[in-house]
Structure 1
Amino acid sequence: MTLPIDVPLALPDARTPDPHDAPAIRWGVLAPGGIAHAFAEAVAVGTASEVVAVGSRSHARARDFADEYGIGRAYGSYEDLVADPDVDAVYVASPHSEHRAHALLAVEAGKPVLVEKAFTRSAAEAREVLDAAARRDLLVVEAMWSRFLPHYDVVRHVVESGLIGEVVAVFADHGQRLYPDGPERLSQPELAGGALLDLGVYPVSFADVVLGGAQPLASVASVASVKASGTLTDLGVDATSTVSVTNAAGAHGVLSCTMAGVTPCTAVVAGTNARLELSGAFYGAGSTLRLVGRDNEVLDERPGGLPEDVRGFSYEAAEFARCLVAGETESPLMTHAATLRVMETMDEVRRQVGVVYPGE
């Protein structure tokens, strides 16, 4: 649907529920790394749920994490964590290279699982996890936290309602100075390092929100649908990748990521009537939304930010809890089909750029 161009344009309100209102579940955290800290705080501060157990290969590391967040049980193995009968769901926070194995470990133990983005190293691994969960009728969701935030709901609403007209293009970038002096895992092929899976997944997933619903990204089997170039490190992971995608309706996406320098981290959705701009790290909770008309006049603006008693990860945790209690096996905000589209796109980017992970 496209609105008449003489209709006054204004941004819609987000339809995202307060994460405190979601049902309470008991979480187990698998791998207490940096991102697990953000998740544990978000659950404690912004939801009715709680983290009741943590598992690590190091019992001392698990114990330190448990002490920091008041968690009752600390396990020195992942197997013990997923076997805990008091754990309702497992959050997988290990490196990308381990997501498949750790998600399957949870699924085989009968646990629903929230898997950090990027969901796995490849679409083939993603299908393996999703198929295993389907056989057991278990909920599995990719923890692409941005897609659960209120301002992403506004983006979806703007696109679906035709507020800016027909979408013709989307632009998004994500660059941080994380190499060569950042986390070692980002430089290691055996840990599925590189910019794409860590940073590029955000622009690719954002483009999927805009282009991937009723107008799905064109099949990556066609070379014309995904075009990519990039630069590799001396160990063969991508330091920078630039991607052009086209969907079935002919809309284009121009996406970029780098771990070698800082970029604005903005996004723009261009339509035939107006455009939507996201500034201040488009993927984050503090992003400002701006609706801009054909003559570059700012028609409406919504500053970013969250309530003091909510964290960005609170929304994904709350949505998972809602889906779990409702008996659903996927979230409508991050469907299995969307996860596979994103993984397939990144597979094709890696193929064209020349990034190969050990064992592929």
Structure 2
Amino acid sequence: MTSAFTSLPEPRYPDPSDAPALRWGVIAPGGIAADFTDALHKHTRQRVVAAGSRTAERAAAFAAAHGVDRSYGSYEQLVSDADVDVVYVASPHTQHTEHALLAIAAGKHVLIEKPMAVTAADAQLIADAARAAGVFAMEAMWTRYLPQTDIVRQLLDDGAFGDVRVVTADFGGSARFDPASRLFDPALAGGALLDLGVYVVSWASFALGSPASVIATGSLAPTGVDEQVALILSSATGAQALLSTGLRAGTPSLATISGSTGRVETDSPFWSASGVRFYDGDGRLAAHWVDPYGRPHREGMSYEAAALARYVTEGLTDSPLQPLDEAIATLATLDEARRQVGVADLGVGSSEGR
């Protein structure tokens, strides 16, 4: 049997510095905003030119630490900055809808940290507003824009795996139970599914599309948020995705796609730059691609920013690699999984930075 994987396609956008330069504003200068800003400045020609916080002191400290020109003590001031082309919404997900709508109303393009919102209905509000305003909006599912994902995408598009039947992914972390932390606080929409599970459900969507049925089982933390969840997502053709996520035990963070003529298995972790192994239909290892580019962990967020810059420059208002409708469908799956495991309240809260 001739393997389709002996000569792998090349990643189409391996260098994020090739993307056009945009000027970014950051809402909520916490840990993920810091990593995003540093990744942009290290690996792209784009620049974060403004940071906004609820306090002028926090915004100024972030700006000084990360080479940002201007800082503002309110989000309204940030989105009103005429020199900002696009706003990165880095606040906790309970605030994504409010902050994305604020930026869109100011005519700014938006990149919204995952999950795009707490519920599919809220994500739809963002999508509707962006489309009405004619601005670009995208969920920051950075895994979709990694070079390794582009190799797998090209092979999927070419039918190299044949009839895809089984998809797997896991992402679990070990977190000490703290009822006041964002992970376990229902008022902040805590729980495994919205924090880590969005990655595994998005991987299944990447391989199979939106599911025709969702089966979820799991356990709740004492605060009522989902603590550990296993999912079976079935497609209209009968293909299945077997997924798991949780907050109390670290798991390998591996993902696979298996079809009638071959399969792919990622290295760990699948959600950031690592590597991929390709097996032919007889189960023989045909190729092992290891990321050579030196942008590990959250430095890989530079790829999603580069993709957004290309799309905006091309006049697009939606990502061709993960359209808004797909991000909304992923949240609909998470909505249903949370309902099935017994999460009682989606929650609304207020906290800044992650």
Shared fold per TM-score greater than 0.5: yes
What is the distance in 2 between the residues matched to 1:91 and 1:9? 37
Q: Which amino acid aligns with 1:229?
A: T
| Within-5 A mapping of 1:296-311 | 296-307=283-294, 311=299
- CA-to-partner distance for each residue in 1:277-330, whole Å, 9 max, x for gaps? 0021111112x2101234432111111352369930111111111111221101
Q: Structure 1 residue 358: deviation in Å?
A: 2.7
Q: Which runs of 5+ in 1 are unaligned?
A: 219-224
Name which of 10, 16, 27 aligns with 2:24. 27
Q: Structure 1 residue 13: deviation in Å?
A: 2.0
Question: What is the count of residue pairs matched by the alignment?
Answer: 346
Q: Which amino acid aligns with 2:145?
A: F
What is the distance in 2 between the residues matched to 1:179 and 1:322? 40
Q: Structure 1 residue 181: deviation in Å?
A: 5.7
- For 2:272, the equivalent position in structure 1 comes to 284
Provide TM-score, normalisation by structure 2.
0.94
1:99, 1:115 within 8 Å by CA — same for their partners in 2?
yes
1:70 aligns with 2:67: yes
- For 2:211, the equivalent position in structure 1 comes to 217
What is the distance in 2 between the residues matched to 1:127 and 1:165? 34
| Within-5 A mapping of 1:43-62 | 43-62=40-59
Q: Give secondary structure in 1 for the equivalent of 2:287.
A: strand
| Within-5 A mapping of 1:72-221 | 72-180=69-177, 184-212=181-209, 216-218=210-212
What is the distance in 1 between the residues matched to 2:225 and 2:151? 35
Taking a change above 3 Å as real, the CA distance of residues 292 and 183 of structure 1, as seen in their structure-2 partners, is: farther
Q: Which amino acid aligns with 1:292?
A: Y
Q: Structure 1 residue 192: deviation in Å?
A: 1.1
1:253 aligns with 2:249: no
Q: Which amino acid aligns with 2:323?
A: T
Q: Which amino acid aligns with 1:18?
A: D
Q: Structure 1 residue 9: deviation in Å?
A: 3.2
Q: Which amino acid aligns with 2:81?
A: D
| Identity of matched residues, % | 45
- For 2:218, the equivalent position in structure 1 comes to 230
What is the distance in 2 between the residues matched to 1:292 and 1:190? 45
Q: Structure 1 residue 17: deviation in Å?
A: 4.6
2:3, 2:280 within 8 Å by CA — same for their partners in 1?
no
What is the distance in 2 between the residues matched to 1:134 and 1:359? 25
What is the distance in 2 between the residues matched to 1:357 and 1:340? 16
Bigger CA drift: 91-100 or 14-23? 14-23
- For 2:352, the equivalent position in structure 1 comes to none
- CA-to-partner distance for each residue in 1:17-44, whole Å, 9 max, x for gaps? 5211111110000001111011101110
- For 1:9, the equivalent position in structure 2 comes to 5
What is the distance in 2 between the residues matched to 1:90 and 1:9? 39
What is the distance in 2 between the residues matched to 1:239 and 1:305? 35
- CA-to-partner distance for each residue in 1:39-63, whole Å, 9 max, x for gaps? 1011101111100000011211111
1:185, 1:193 within 8 Å by CA — same for their partners in 2?
yes
Q: Which amino acid aligns with 2:155?
A: V
Q: Give secondary structure in 1 for the equivalent of 2:202.
A: helix
Q: Which runs of 5+ in 2 are unaligned?
A: 350-354
1:179, 1:239 within 8 Å by CA — same for their partners in 2?
no
2:173, 2:249 within 8 Å by CA — same for their partners in 1?
yes
What is the distance in 2 between the residues matched to 1:199 and 1:34? 16
What is the distance in 1 between the residues matched to 2:179 and 2:192? 12
Q: Which amino acid aligns with 1:28?
A: G
What is the distance in 2 between the residues matched to 1:232 and 1:179? 14
Q: RMSD value over aligned CA atoms? A: 1.8
- For 1:243, the equivalent position in structure 2 comes to 231
What is the distance in 2 between the residues matched to 1:308 and 1:291? 22
Q: Give secondary structure in 1 for the equivalent of 2:13.
A: coil
- For 2:322, the equivalent position in structure 1 comes to 334
- CA-to-partner distance for each residue in 1:81-118, whole Å, 9 max, x for gaps? 11111111100000010000010111111111100001
Taking a change above 3 Å as real, the CA distance of residues 245 and 71 of structure 1, as seen in their structure-2 partners, is: same
Q: Structure 1 residue 337: deviation in Å?
A: 1.7
1:179, 1:186 within 8 Å by CA — same for their partners in 2?
no
2:178, 2:184 within 8 Å by CA — same for their partners in 1?
no
Taking a change above 3 Å as real, the CA distance of residues 57 and 114 of structure 1, as seen in their structure-2 partners, is: same
What is the distance in 1 between the residues matched to 2:104 and 2:150? 29
2:97, 2:123 within 8 Å by CA — same for their partners in 1?
yes
Structure 1's consecutive aligned runs of 4 or more residues displaced over 6 angstroms after TM superposition are: none
Q: Structure 1 residue 179: deviation in Å?
A: 3.6
What is the distance in 2 between the residues matched to 1:27 and 1:270? 39
What is the distance in 2 between the residues matched to 1:339 and 1:71? 30
